[in-house]
Each structure stands twice: as structure tokens, then as C-alpha cells.
Amino acid sequence: MLPVWAQLVALTLGHVFSNAVRTIPAIAADVMSLDLGIGTDGLAAITGGYSLAFTLAMVPVGVALDRHGSRMVMLWLLGICAAGLLLAFTARNGAMMLLAQAVLGVGCSGMMMAPITFAARNVPPVSFGMWSGVVQATGNSGMLISASPIAWLVEQAGWRAGYASTGLILAVAILAVALLVREDRPAASGRSLMQDARTVLGFAAAPRLLPLMSLASVSLGAMLCLRGLWGGPWLMEVKGLTRLETGNMLLAAATAMVIGPFIAGMVDRALGRPRLELVVAHIVAIGSLLGLLALSGTASPCWDAVMLVGFGLALTYHILLFALVRARVTPDVAGRALSAMNLYFFGGTAAMQALSGLAAAWGGIAGALWCIVVLLALGTAVFAWGEARQRS
């Protein structure tokens, strides 16, 4: 049997795919909107279907991970992703793309949780925070692919070629999980499916976890809204950059999101104050967006690059939430507890995409970014207040 780390890397390839496929609209929003006959705000609503379907799938996925293990669940979900990718590639209008995004959302719903649940069961608790950071950083490398490389591909062959290219990552992920991952099926719990589903929802409403959930509901959503949707239109329409220049800028931001989890892990091991670190990091992210907006008409693109990199580095700190949740539950329910947090991660993303789309219809792309700022500030404040209250 391969060592645990090798199996964990194989499982994480699905997370690489999910980050690549979900962020294609940021680099191809203009041509996708034109080809599908919808506006950019309409595309925001459609891509929100991904996050909504993702969220709705989290309860059954969390139950399945605890009942059947990461390998079996991942293989099923990768198959669903293949169907969603085919639908996206062949979409001819907004309705077809909405269906594709929904299927992809269901398929990608376990791409991060499967390796993290595998780690929760197979690595020592003291190492779990580090390995969750490795999973997040490796998965975020998918955003590197959907930056400059796919920007060039979209210019040469259209946005459909961007979706087709992610099929290569998907095929490698399927082979890696099928051939390399070996896992015993978890012992039967004696509980019904309904009882397990109620457990997931119970964790989602557990008072000791709610402050963590409040931050989860805005942190990933802010990162994906900017990197996965509004970053490209901002740089192309507001700053006047070409698609390839935009891809290079988003590549820098994506690189920050890849190295950010490692930096967060090292800082946390040195300081050991994850709650304070999370608050400070999210304040930095808010400041980066405000810096982007404040000098939108006068600053050079280099300023935007610095702000985007700072934003990406800061928001990857949300990986510390996994360790905080894991520390508050027992290993046998880790899959359900972590899936409950994912309800907030991606439910918040769906809500933020929808709200930012409405804000864009009212105030343009800057309106969408202001919407992200307000929601991010609100979630950070609730987290800080809730954690302080629990510790008092």
C-alpha cells in the first residue's frame, strides 16, 4: 500500500480540477456572455448555480464520506464531473450552462472534503492542520491553470477549449484515485441515513461552531467571487488590459493562493493564535479590496497586481478553520462536521455571487466589489465577536 501522503495527493487532484473548472468564467466572461446570449451579471447568476448545487450536495456527501470512505465517494463524484464538463462544453444558451454549472457543482462538492476527511482519519491530529493546508494549496494550483494558460487558449480557440482542457486534469484524477488510493470502508454506525443527515445539519447549527461558520460563509466566497468571476472583468473592462495581460495578473493572484496556505501554516505554528490570525488576515483582505477600489482610475496595473496578491495571500488563511472545527469534534464524525462547514463555505459563495451580480447590475463591477467588501467585513466581525464571547 502506498504511504498516506501519496494517497492524499491522488485524492487532491480532484480539488485541482474543481478550482480550474470553476474559475474559467473569470478569464472568459466576455466571450461566454456574448456566445450564450447573456450579460456579465447574468453569467454571475448562472455560475452561482454551481455554488448552490455544491451546497445542496454537501449533506449527502458528508454522510457518504463517513459511511463509504473517501475513495468510493470521490470516484462517483468524478464521474458526475465528467457529465457536467460535457454539458458545459456543449452549452448553447444560458439555461444549458446553468444545468452544466449545477452538475459540476454536485460533482465538485466533495473534491476538497474527500482528501481532508481522509487526512482526518489517517494522520495524527497534531499534523492535521498542516495536511489540510497542503490539500488547499495543491487544490488552489488549479487556479494557475485557469489564469494565463487558459487565457491564451481562449484567445486561440474559444472558451469551450478552456473547458475541454480541464478534462485532462479530470482524467488523471480518475486514474490516480482508482489505481492509487486504498481505504477500508468505515465501520457501520447503525444509524439511518436520516439520522446521519440530521447530524450534519446539527453541526451546522451547533453554537460552539457558529462563529467559525460565520467566517466560512464569507471567506471562500470572497476569494472565489474575485478570482472566479469579477477579477477578469475588472482588469479587462475597468483597467483596459488584454485577456493575456489579465491572465498574467490572475496568475500572480493564483500563485499567492497556492503559497498562502503554507505561509498560514508556518505563521500559525509560530504564533499559535489562529483566531487572532484569522481576524487580522481578513482585515488585510478587506484593505486590499478597498485599495483596489480607491485608486481604480489612477493607479497602474502594478498596483492592482499587488492588491490582488495581498487579497489572495490573506484569504487563504481560512484553512485554519478546518483545524478549529476538527479540534471540536471526534474523528468518527469528522466528515459530517467538516461537510457542515462546507455548507457555509459554498452556501456563502452562492449567496455572494448572487448578491454581487445584483450589485453589478446597479453599480457596475465596482458595485460587485463593494458588495464583497461589505459581506466580508460583516462575517469577520461576527466571527471575532462570537469567538470572544465563547472564550469569556
* Predicted local confidence at residue 349, as pLDDT: 82
* Predicted local confidence at residue 189, as pLDDT: 57
* Predicted local confidence at residue 192, as pLDDT: 67
DSSP 270-323: HH--HHHHHHHHHHHHHHHHHHHHHTTTTS-HHHHHHHHHHHHHHHGGGGHHHH
Model confidence at 291: pLDDT above 60: yes
Lowest mean pLDDT among 96-100, 122-126, 169-173, 268-272: 122-126
The cell for 306 is 499587488
Lowest mean pLDDT among 16-25, 141-150, 167-176, 231-240: 141-150
| pLDDT tier for residue 371 given thresholds of 50, 70 and 90 | very high
Model confidence at 188: pLDDT above 70: no
* Predicted local confidence at residue 186, as pLDDT: 64
- Distance between CA 279 and CA 294 in Å, rounded? 22
- For the segment 73-90, the average pLDDT, to the nearest whole number, is 95
pTM of the shown model: 0.75
- Burial class from Cβ neighbours inside 10 Å (0-12, 13-18, 19+) for residue 362 reads exposed
The cell for 259 is 503559497
State which of 52-61, 120-129, 130-139, 211-220 shows the largest mean pLDDT.
211-220
| pLDDT tier for residue 340 given thresholds of 50, 70 and 90 | confident
Contact 230, 369 (CB under 8 A): yes
How far from each other are the two terminal CA atoms of the chain, in whole angstroms?
47
- Distance between CA 217 and CA 215 in Å, rounded? 5
* Predicted local confidence at residue 106, as pLDDT: 93
DSSP 143-170: HHHTTHHHHHHHHHH-HHHHHHHHHHHH
Per-chain mean pLDDT for the chain: 85
* Residues whose CB is less than 8 angstroms from the CB of residue 338 and which lie 6 or more positions away in sequence, other chains included: 62, 113, 116, 117, 120, 322, 325, 326
The cell for 107 is 460533482
More confident residue, 237 or 108: 108
| pLDDT tier for residue 61 given thresholds of 50, 70 and 90 | confident
* Predicted local confidence at residue 76, as pLDDT: 94
* Predicted local confidence at residue 102, as pLDDT: 93
* Predicted local confidence at residue 1, as pLDDT: 64
More confident residue, 37 or 45: 37
- Distance between CA 73 and CA 58 in Å, rounded? 12
**Grid-cell match 496595473, residue found:** 301
Give all domains of the chain, ordered by start, each with its CATH number.
4-181+193-391 (1.20.1250.20)
- For the segment 56-79, the average pLDDT, to the nearest whole number, is 87
Model confidence at 193: pLDDT above 60: yes
More confident residue, 53 or 336: 53
* Predicted local confidence at residue 16, as pLDDT: 93
| pLDDT tier for residue 297 given thresholds of 50, 70 and 90 | low
More confident residue, 175 or 345: 175
* Predicted local confidence at residue 169, as pLDDT: 93
**232: closest CA among 256, 255, 249?**
249
Interval 93-145: pLDDT, tens:
988 999 999 999 999 988 988 898 888 788 777 777 677 778 878 887 887 77
The residue type found at 95 is: A
Q: Is 123 left (phi over 0), alpha (psi -120 to 50) or beta?
A: beta
